[in-house]
Amino acid sequence: MKTVIGCLWYYVVSAVLIVALVSCKTDAGKPAQPIPDNSATAFVRDMGIGINIGNTLDAINNHVSNTPAGETGWGNPKITKEFIAALKNYGYTTIRLPVTWAEYLGPAPDYVIDETRMSRVEEVVNWILEEDLYCILNLHHDGGESPKSWILKAGDDPDGVTKQFAAVWKQIAGRFSGASGKLIFEAMNEVGFKMWNQWDASTNGKKPEAFRILNGLNQAFVDTVRASGAQNNARFLLVSGYYTDIDLTCDPLFKMPSDTQHDRLILSVHYYTPATFCILDKDESWGKNQTDWGSGSRGDADYAELSRQFAKIRGQFIDRGIPVILGEYGVNFNNKVEAGRVRWISAVTQACLDNGICPVLWDTGNDIKRSPASSYAMSDALAQAWRLIRK
């Protein structure tokens, strides 16, 4: 996520909570229909419910500076083995580890990743795998808009950036080629190109090129990882949708890459819909802050929108045997009705479980504290949501 979203309460998950969620009826869902039983879909269902360790290894300096932001640059402490164990104790079975590499790359043509950075990422990945958890590892704000970010430059130099993309993934894939099959590589995060703007019809002539570039990056990702051998020959890979947006990813111009392996590709999308509820905390020129969700005069419409979005991703991908991971979702905690946030996240989580999707909460340390002094405690909002879901 390119904005800091907190109080994403829901994931105090344990086996008990998973049962509670599956049995919890929401207006968003209809009785679950059979999910394809191919191996990639089964793998994703086994991933259960996950959480992001956001604003940490993905932090990047937002100024023109040669000094990396560092792991603590956005206000969070360093990740510890004890924190990973605490997440497992809460019941999480998947951890998404957003990592930004941009400030740690050497010059062209090799773009060598700083060894200290690589070793630190490896250490955290190993802690996650040692807990027998699934781990999603990506390129995060490399595709953002900070001065050091670089993937978006593919809009001007697709061939050059694709070569850099492959060079970076070659190193990461090589370093982790022997890792457990529970490690999933994710191509990138929320990437699209400004040459085409869906709200500006004058740019529509550039739309095919924008999708072609993203499709090319995804293909380079798959080809590079497969070429690295060992466990990567058959590792499950997470392909990034266009801006990881459901509507844009369901566009016919988006293409899943080809693969030398059968049934090993997964689609990554995010969900912050409606943006006026999930992201805004005050009125903006493009929308009015929505403070509540799923109740009152707009309640039925809110649930209907959610159902339409998940029906779309299911029809386009899941029913065709292409499983989906919802790599991020959550709600801004400022100026929101708490019960509305509870309704939204429970409904989205239920929709994921009904459709065989692994939901991964976006958290930046607001809902599960990250220091031993706090005993990795839940926020008050998360505890309140736990009480509500158990009713």
The predicted-structure confidence for 184-229, as pLDDT tens digits, reads as follows: 999 999 999 999 999 999 999 999 999 999 999 999 999 999 999 9
Residue 251 to residues 194, 271, 312, 328, Cα–Cα distance (Å): 17, 16, 10, 20
Preceding peptide of 274 cis, ω within 30°: yes
CA dihedral 91, 96, 98, 104 (to 10 degrees): 100
Known catalytic membership, residue 190: yes
From the candidates 71, 131, 186, 328, give the one annotated as an active-site residue.
328
Task: Name the DSSP class of 371.
Answer: S
Alpha-helical segments (H) within 70-204:
81-90, 115-130, 158-175
- Residue-level pLDDT at 239: 98
pLDDT for 380: 64
- Check residue 383 and give its pLDDT: 59
Indicate whether 6 belongs to any domain. no
Q: Answer whether residue 10 is part of any domain.
A: no
- Asked whether residue 66 is assigned to any structural domain, the reply reads yes
Question: Rounded distance, CA 221 to CA 138, Å?
Answer: 11
Within a domain: 7:
no
Is residue 4 included in any domain, yes or no? no
Q: How many domains does the chain have?
A: 1
Measured in residues, the chain has a length of 391
State which H helix or E strand residue 361 sits in: strand 358-361
In a domain, 5, yes or no: no
* Spans of the chain, pLDDT less than 70: 1-32, 378-391
- Report how far Cα 123 is from the mean position of its chain's Cα atoms: 21
Q: How far apart are CA 52 and CA 360, in angstroms?
A: 6
71 in any annotated domain: yes
- Amino acid in position 238: L
For residue 362, the one-letter residue type is: W
Query: Does residue 313 lie within any of the structural domains?
Result: yes
User: What range does the domain containing 146 cover?
Assistant: 15-389
Q: Domain containing 351 — which CATH number?
A: 3.20.20.80
Residue 103 falls in the annotated catalytic set: no
pLDDT at residue 384, rounded to an integer: 57
Q: 3-state class of 381 per DSSP?
A: helix
The pLDDT of residue 368: 85
Closest-CA residue to 344 (of 7, 4, 17, 2): 7
Q: Which of 131, 186, 190, 284 is catalytic?
A: 190
Neighbours of 112 (CB within 10 A): 13
The token pair that represents 374 in the structure block: 């706090």
